[in-house]
Structure 1
Amino acid sequence: MSCLISARWWATAAMAAALSVPAWAGTPDEPLSLREALALAAARSQQLVASRASTAASRNMAIAAGQLPDPVLKFGLDNLPLNGADRLSLSRDFMTMRRIGVMQELPGAQKRQLRTERFEREADLSVAQGQMSLANLQRDTALAWIERYYTQRMRDLVLRQIEETRLQVQAIESGFGIGRSSQADVFAARSALVLLEDRLSTVDRQQRNAALVLARWVGPDAERPATEAPAWQTSRLEDGRLQEHIPLHPDLLVLKAQVDAAQTESRLADANRRSDWSVEVMYSQRGTAYSNMLSVGVSIPLQWDRANRQDRELAAKLSMVDEARAKYEDMLRSHEAEVRRLLNDWQTGKSRVHRHREQLIPLAEQRAQADLTAYRTGKVDLAAALAARRDVIDARMQALAVEMETAKSWAQLNFLSPSDSLPTSRQEKP
């Protein structure tokens, strides 16, 4: 599992780095696609840089932890006389010795392997955290981009209607001048125009806020227009691979890495119940009249209170394993419920989008056309016809709002785990 996580993480990071070339800095009028926004966000993210640095640090520490401790060089002077005829002499007393030696601690091969494995598990944890950072980055970038895209479409829709209404106002004012329109018709048309301009101000505020949020992830490129619809109609989870996908959720991968790390710590605590021996070799030099000496020694720590030290440490580490496993199981249940909720929101949203496009908008347009015909024949006043036309705008705006919410559900679902590919989008207009 850890190798799979690492491979996926580095492959996704390499893809982001490859896509983030300077040539991608588009001109202000060049469209910003969702794919490009995701790559720009990955290229600018310092969280991903930190994750890669943490992983590299743990990998290096894993190599160092598997080595033997550095040998200890020992030297000194033993039994130097301080009084008498041999005072401070280095050679006249047979007990005086100049010594030099080396001491080497010898931890068991299993301990060294477990120490290496502990840092490897930390590296796996860093990789999993990097996966989580990348998934969150892609999700938040996609949500901001989607908000920017749909508020831009809402603005275009309101602008088209404002232009149409201005022409209507001019025509009605001209008709009033020749007696074909009433003053009430003029006021009704002008009121409709003011309401549309007020709606445009609201949409402009929403679009600007969306651009400011997107700039958090992609920088100045957030000002570029988003003209390609997101591919929210299809998802990686649509083909029934839900149970296969849930364990790959980055949050679960982080907790799984924590379980593996806790298990390694418990095995290392168990190994620490066996003492590490040290071996020492000493060469002692005496005066020329005496023989030099060679000493060999072995040091063994005495675990005289194992029940309250080593055994307690092992029990603590085993409890930490239980804690990590319980958190993983709880998170697994939580994410399974979350994914099923997002899948339901997305599928319900697709049905609603279809209903708005195929039923509500055509019905509103038919009603508006009927009221306009009735106005021309004198059966209703202009205010009723304009109200019906506003209902068409409301229906189209509502359809865009429903589609935006559905696309956001898709983004939350599609970027539960990092994605290095996106389905082809289809441009659809309500």
Structure 2
Amino acid sequence: MILEFIMQSMQKFSSSPIARFDSFKTRSRRQIISLILGGVFGMVSPQAFSEPVLTLEQAEKMALVDEPGIISQQWQMQSLSDQSIADGQLMDPKLQVGLNNLPTDTFEFDQENMTQFKVGIMQQFPSGDSLNIKQQKTQKQSELFLSQISDRKLSIIKEVRLTYFEIYYWEKARKTIKQNKRFFSQLVEIVQSMFSVGRNNQQDLIRAQLELSRLDDRLVKITQKINTQRSKLSRWIGAQNSAQALTTQLPVLSIPAISDDFETLSQLFYAHPKILGIDKKLEISRKDIELVKESYKPGWALNVGYGYRDNMPNGGKRADFLSAGVTIDLPLFTANRQDKKLLAKEHSYQSLKDKRVAMLRQLVANLQQEVASEEQLQNRHQLYNNLLLPQARQQTQASLLAYQSDQGDFADVMRAYIDDLNVKLDERRIAVDHLQSKAKILYFTSSFIGPEH
């Protein structure tokens, strides 16, 4: 369309007074216009399908396979699960061995009737149902890691998506600018040759060289951005995988319909790992309160002993002794111990309840903020596709025709072409920002719409 439009305009002006300029001037302008058109239509290059590409789905799966943080949390969970079994067991019994009532005048074992060799066993029993409650508490501490693992998985998926999209944008930007750099390099050579024979002014040459230098600077900055983002992605999928080329098309992310009502969103967030984690901490805190209440009950210990006595010196038999006893704790002075412990645990429980409310408000607010941002980015993307991109192309066409008909100058052509480049890059930036906003929304909503993978 652009080429046909230019050719029609050139035929139109061929019979006008403008077309009867000096031949070198006409040839110079047509040479520049041919280069611009060649640059416009020569920017699309076929994708090298032989090069392995990294899809977003592949990156997500790689990030979750053998992830050290998740594995560490799984080991901690297993550790506490095993510990809970141990916490539900009685303490090991204690063995008592002693020699009682040995006379110090002769140290003869059979001299006195009360002399005995005693062996005893003592078993302690904690107060109330402490063992069972302690076991339940440790088991719930183990289950707490389930929500932490789920939250870590969601966070990793979000970070992988954000980084993947960021790399995609900068790779596209670099490709686009490299294509424009080739065009500007050729343009500088043409303008320089025309300037050397007096067919163009120095300002046009400096302008073309300046734009070329600016593109070089942008390429350096973009390469730095790409290296930074690929290094960031390598944390999750490894350096070799992160160095692969990405897909040529932006992935598609679907988000659910989200209500504006705060109470509705709050109820949906009850299934989010962050809220489930606080809920589990509340259960653990309730077990702490139950444990303190059990401390008001007495603990006790059972002692059983057997005393062996030797025969009398004249050969008479002596009976052995069997003894048993109970030791009981007396929690009589509870004001400054059990009472204070109970208050401390109740305060901790109330603190967690308020923390849960605060976390719900924060999650809902963050989600609503991202939803608002996503809607605005979608509107901006539509604006660019419907208006700004076509207008930038029209401006480029108009400046070319004006320059060809000697009604515009070279600076207008350069400015229009740079504006067109910037609009294209802005459109890609908004498209990527839109997807990144969706990725953030899915971090909040995946818990109540189900995992995507």
The TM-score, its normalising length taken from structure 2, stands at: 0.79
Distance in 1, matches of 2:170 and 2:126, equals 65
The aligned residue for residue 45 of structure 2 is none
Q: Give 1:238 shift.
A: 4.8
237-246 or 87-96, which moves further after superposition?
237-246
* CA displacement 1:361-390 (0-9 Å, x = unmatched): 111111111111111111101210121111
Q: Give 1:75 shift.
A: 1.8
Report the CA distance shift for 1:333/1:195 in structure 2 as closer, same or farther (over 3 A).
same
The aligned residue for residue 430 of structure 2 is 402
Distance in 1, matches of 2:253 and 2:376, equals 12
2:393 is equivalent to residue 365 of structure 1? yes
* CA displacement 1:334-377 (0-9 Å, x = unmatched): 11111111121122212212221222111111111111111111
One-letter code aligned to 1:333 = R
Distance in 1, matches of 2:167 and 2:323, equals 79
The aligned residue for residue 91 of structure 2 is 69
Distance in 2, matches of 1:284 and 1:229, equals 88
The aligned residue for residue 118 of structure 1 is 137
The aligned residue for residue 54 of structure 2 is 32
The aligned residue for residue 335 of structure 1 is 363
2:299 is equivalent to residue 276 of structure 1? yes
Kindly indicate whether the alpha-carbon contact (under 8 Å) linking 1:364 and 1:395 is maintained by their aligned counterparts in 2.
yes
% identical aligned pairs: 24
> Secondary structure of the equivalent of 1:378?
coil
Q: Give 1:273 shift.
A: 1.2
One-letter code aligned to 1:206 = K
The aligned residue for residue 234 of structure 1 is 254
107-116 or 319-328, which moves further after superposition?
107-116
2:286 is equivalent to residue 263 of structure 1? yes
Distance in 2, matches of 1:103 and 1:196, equals 85
Report the CA distance shift for 1:418/1:80 in structure 2 as closer, same or farther (over 3 A).
farther
The aligned residue for residue 93 of structure 1 is 112
One-letter code aligned to 1:255 = I
Q: Which runs of 5+ in 1 are unaligned?
A: 1-27, 424-430
* CA displacement 1:264-315 (0-9 Å, x = unmatched): 1101111121112211211111123211111121111111212222222112
366-375 or 34-43, which moves further after superposition?
34-43
2:83 is equivalent to residue 55 of structure 1? no
Distance in 1, matches of 2:257 and 2:90, equals 49
2:353 is equivalent to residue 322 of structure 1? no
Distance in 1, matches of 2:258 and 2:352, equals 31
Distance in 2, matches of 1:304 and 1:421, equals 55
2:416 is equivalent to residue 388 of structure 1? yes
> Secondary structure of the equivalent of 2:182?
helix
The aligned residue for residue 160 of structure 1 is 179
> Secondary structure of the equivalent of 2:53?
coil
Distance in 2, matches of 1:318 and 1:402, equals 50
Distance in 2, matches of 1:250 and 1:111, equals 30
Q: Give 1:392 shift.
A: 0.6
Residues paired across the two proteins, number? 393
Distance in 2, matches of 1:355 and 1:235, equals 21
> Secondary structure of the equivalent of 1:136?
helix
Q: Which runs of 5+ in 2 are unaligned?
A: 1-49, 312-316
Q: Give 1:229 shift.
A: 4.6
* CA displacement 1:120-163 (0-9 Å, x = unmatched): 12112222222333333332232222211111111111112222
One-letter code aligned to 1:271 = E
Report the CA distance shift for 1:301/1:230 in structure 2 as closer, same or farther (over 3 A).
farther
One-letter code aligned to 1:80 = L
Q: Give 1:232 shift.
A: 5.3
The aligned residue for residue 223 of structure 1 is 243
Kindly indicate whether the alpha-carbon contact (under 8 Å) linking 2:266 and 2:360 is maintained by their aligned counterparts in 1.
no
Kindly indicate whether the alpha-carbon contact (under 8 Å) linking 1:82 and 1:88 is maintained by their aligned counterparts in 2.
yes
2:78 is equivalent to residue 78 of structure 1? no
> Secondary structure of the equivalent of 1:306?
coil
The aligned residue for residue 3 of structure 1 is none
Distance in 1, matches of 2:249 and 2:287, equals 48
Distance in 1, matches of 2:407 and 2:66, equals 62
Report the CA distance shift for 1:341/1:48 in structure 2 as closer, same or farther (over 3 A).
same
One-letter code aligned to 2:160 = T
Larger radius of gyration: 2
